[in-house]
Chain A
Amino acid sequence: MAEIKIEKKRPVWPWIVAVLLIAGLVYYVFLKDDQVQNVNTVEIENTTTTDTIVE
């Protein structure tokens, strides 16, 4: 004969916190570096332009 037991659902909020933490870490590591590289590129272009004008 049949038996069906029930159990409490595991709370979802620890997973949400974990996902937010990982997303924050990914943003810090990758997107922060991308912004620094863009700034360097602009500086190099400016230098080249200045040299051309002097000649």
Chain B
Amino acid sequence: MENKDKNLYRLDELTDYKVASNYSDVRGWKIVDADNRTIGKIDNLWVNKDMQRVVYLDVKVDKALIDDSRNEVHDTIAHENGREFLYKEGDSHLIIPIGSVNINKDTKIVMANGISYDTFRRTGRYNIQDNFDRNYERSILRSYYPDDVQSGFESNDDAFYKRREFDGR
């Protein structure tokens, strides 16, 4: 399922749209976990055009975190005798549901409170040259919230975003 079929666009693509007044345009801001460890920098905003709001932050993952996860994969391969490589070269972006973060306007830092550095390290990344599909979105949610199975998880339309992970209120 293409992102366009889901009304999902990078905000940069929608030249006639902008972040609404009284909301922060967090592009370029740093994102950290609850322990203040750097996850990366917010590269773009994924918006649902019908819902007129941001649903994911697109994060360019910090090099140190990528190196950490590479080391983990190498260790896994060494110990488990050839488990398939998790990441390809260029897979340097993550998406984070908007309802999973807090925004500090004063420090211009976004904090992912409930998701740890280790979780981000283990979460599958995608290549910015390719679009992600609904399966990737599901895998992200399973990684961030492994115990949280709610109704609408299998939905292929906008009902998918009517979950608390996307709810900022």
Q: Which of A1, A3, A6 contacts B18 (CB 8 A)?
A: A6
How many angstroms from the CA of A11 to the CA of B56 in the assembled complex?
27
Interface size class, chain A: under 10
A2 close to chain B: CB less than 8 A: yes
What interface size band does chain B fall in?
Answer: 20 to 34
A2 and B99 contacting across the interface, CB-CB below 8 Å = yes
Measured between alpha carbons, how far is A5 from B18 in the docked complex, in Å? Answer: 9
Within 8 A of B (CB), among A1-55: 1-9
Asked whether, in the complex, the Cβ of B98 is within 8 Å of the Cβ of A4, the reply is yes
Report yes or no: A2 in contact with B17, Cβ–Cβ below 8 A: no
B residues within 8 Å of A by Cβ?
A: 11, 14, 16-21, 23-26, 45, 47, 52-54, 98-103, 110, 167-169
Instruction: Give A residues with C-beta under 8 Å from B.
Output: 1-9
